[in-house]
């Protein structure tokens, strides 16, 4: 991704965040800038493992979520009319904020798309994936609705559940039951990684 493309994606990202109308959004954006979010890759060696990849993936999840909502609202308006566009924006764009300080560039790294050029460092707040994103967002001063908390916490779906914990399994199932946003973000995350972003892997 070149610098101009990165700037365009960042402008779109910030436009969407400010469009939520949340108070003190500029303060939160300043904290997001400091975290390194806009320069971080989406993964170490898989999807969008290049500078700005995390931001691009987050935008792709947002677009996928909005497309899914428009598709399914025709059949289940009772469900999807309850999911606000603002909540989709927050949950989709910020579900992976935990990755902002998770990767570091390797010395002599490859720069081609799809090549491993980053290492992983879990030392900054090692509490998990979705839960770390939620905690970081609160630390940055962003207030979240319960549906947004659950959608971000459980965006990995069953992959993030400790099968040995009946309490965790119960919490996950209840979150899906209470908040359709949870399932929507899970689906959008998968669609973005497996469909939208395949072009960066040459398939």
Average the pLDDT over 177-181 and give the result: 97
d(CA 130, CA 135): 9
For residue 167, give Cα distances in angstroms to 163, 171, 184: 10, 6, 23
The share of the chain scoring above pLDDT 70, in percent, equals 89
What lies within 8 Å, CB to CB, of 135 at 6+ separation is: 125, 127
Q: How many domains does the chain have?
A: 1
Give the pLDDT band (50/70/90) at residue 141. very high
164 phi and psi, to 5 degrees? -85, -10
Predicted local distance difference test score (pLDDT) of residue 161: 76
Residue 127's domain spans which residues? Answer: 3-201
Are the C-beta atoms of residues 38 and 32 closer than 8 Å to each other? yes
Predicted local distance difference test score (pLDDT) of residue 117: 65
Give the pLDDT band (50/70/90) at residue 116. very low
Residue 129 reports pLDDT greater than 90: no
- Per-residue pLDDT tens over the stretch 21-79: 999 999 999 999 999 999 999 887 767 888 899 999 999 999 999 999 999 999 999 99
Are the C-beta atoms of residues 158 and 187 closer than 8 Å to each other? no
d(CA 103, CA 62): 23
**pLDDT, greater one: 34 or 111:** 34
Residue 123 reports pLDDT greater than 80: no
* Torsion angle (degrees, nearest 10) of CA 185, 48, 118, 109: 180
Q: What is the CATH number of the domain that holds 147?
A: 1.10.3210
Are the C-beta atoms of residues 95 and 130 closer than 8 Å to each other? yes
User: Which tokens go with 202?
Assistant: 């040459």
**pLDDT, greater one: 187 or 128:** 187
Helix axes 146-153, 130-139, angle to 10 degrees: 140
Predicted local distance difference test score (pLDDT) of residue 138: 98
Listed residue (67, 96, 80, 69) closest to 155, CA to CA = 96
d(CA 55, CA 39): 8
Predicted local distance difference test score (pLDDT) of residue 120: 72
- Per-residue pLDDT tens over the stretch 80-95: 998 999 999 999 999 9
Predicted local distance difference test score (pLDDT) of residue 32: 98
């Amino acid at each position: 991704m070149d610098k101009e493309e990165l700037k365009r994606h960042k402008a779109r990202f910030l436009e969407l965040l400010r469009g939520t109308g949340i108070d003190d959004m500029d303060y939160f954006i300043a904290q997001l800038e400091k975290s390194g979010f806009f320069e971080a890759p989406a993964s170490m060696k898989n999807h969008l493992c290049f500078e700005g990849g995390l931001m691009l993936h987050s935008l792709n999840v947002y677009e996928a979520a909005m497309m899914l909502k428009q598709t399914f609202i025709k059949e289940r308006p009772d469900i999807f009319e309850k999911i606000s566009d603002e909540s989709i924006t927050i949950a989709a764009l910020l579900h992976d904020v935990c990755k902002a300080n998770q990767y570091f560039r390797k010395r002599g790294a490859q720069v081609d798309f799809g090549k491993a050029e980053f290492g992983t460092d879990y030392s900054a707040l090692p509490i998990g994936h979705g839960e770390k994103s939620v905690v970081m967002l609160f630390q940055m001063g962003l207030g979240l609705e319960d549906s947004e908390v659950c959608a971000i916490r459980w965006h990995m779906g069953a992959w993030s559940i400790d099968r040995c914990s009946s309490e965790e399994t119960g919490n996950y199932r209840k979150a899906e039951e209470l908040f359709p946003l949870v399932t929507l973000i899970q689906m959008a995350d998968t669609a973005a990684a497996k469909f939208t972003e395949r072009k960066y892997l040459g398939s």
